[in-house]
Amino acid sequence: MKPPARQRGYAEDPSLAATSVPMITADLFRDPSDRPAPIRLGDGATLLPGFARDRATALLAALEEVLRQAPLRRMRTPGGHVMTVATSCCGDRGWTSDADGYRYSALDPASGRPWPPMPEVFAALATAAAAAAGYPAFAADTCLINRYGDGAKLSPHQDRDERDLSHPIVSLSLGLPARFQFGDPHRRERLLRTTLEHGDVVVWGGASRLAYHGVLPLAAGRHPMTGDCRYNLSFRRAG
Ligand code: MD3
Ligand code: FE
């Protein structure tokens, strides 16, 4: 039986018509020739469907090792809430949140020790994906790890804690699919929606770097590689 074609729906913008994306078998970091075509989500924002699919095993093994050293935790926001998403980080610095605000710090506040080093396979993926989206010299110095369980969500926000906003953010989705929403920079209203699936990578740069974006509550499910959750790894240049 042929599996159903993968449909991508873009709710509000007809120029982002639904596209069916074939399975890919190439070595994704080396051979760009038979990957599905990149999809433009906005000015400077590119979806690379399934870009990391063939490296998911190595990426998840490296992730497990990072999380052994810096376990996931649910951080407190300056507004006094506790995030539904559990987070950790690796690299030269890590993103943290507490009653005093959001910031990048060289030490994991949970352990007082430096964050785990960025695994080679993370850095290589981030650089390769950025290059494929037209940012040829991207070198991430941090990776923010988000874990979504049943119902976890991220309300629309901008990412502006990084020092130099001319660097893109590279976002990798693993495990269960998520409904993702994003809009114009400086505008919270009229967000577009798309589904981010296992192995998808999105590169957010240029005019989209300050776009509002968020993740709708995760629908319960099971994924063969991650079980009941979704991971999002976002590679950033923060310093
Ligand atoms: C669009 N995470 O951690 S990553 C975050 O799926 C965050 O966990 C989401 O937003 C997640 O801050 C989405 C994709 C992402 C990251 C940065 C962006 C999208 C972006 C910056 C500008 C516009
Ligand atoms: Fe964000």
| 49, two tokens | 């469907």
Q: Closest residue (by CA) to atom 4 of ligand 1?
A: 171
pTM higher than the cut 0.85 = yes
Cβ of 99: how many Cβ atoms within 10 Å? 9
Tens-place pLDDT, residues 43-88: 999 999 999 999 999 999 999 999 999 999 999 999 999 999 999 9
Annotated domain spans of the chain = 36-236
Q: Is the CB of 232 under 6 A from ligand 1?
A: yes
- Residue 184 has what pLDDT? 75
Low-confidence residues in the chain, pLDDT < 50: 1-28
- Residue 6 has what pLDDT? 45
Cα torsion 86, 218, 168, 126: sign: positive
The topology under which CATH files domain 36-236 is Jelly Rolls (2.60.120)
Q: Which ligand is nearest to the CA of 83?
A: 1
- Residue 36 has what pLDDT? 86
> How far, in Å, from the CA of 209 to the mean position of ligand 2?
10
- Residue 23 has what pLDDT? 36
Q: Which of 234, 235, 237 to mutate to test the pocket of ligand 1 (most atoms within 8 A of CB)?
A: 234
Helix (H) or strand (E) holding 207: none
- DSSP annotation of 6: P
- Residue 185 has what pLDDT? 73
Q: Is the CB of 169 under 6 A from ligand 1?
A: yes
| 35, two tokens | 């990957």
Q: Closest residue (by CA) to atom 22 of ligand 1?
A: 209
Length of the chain: 239
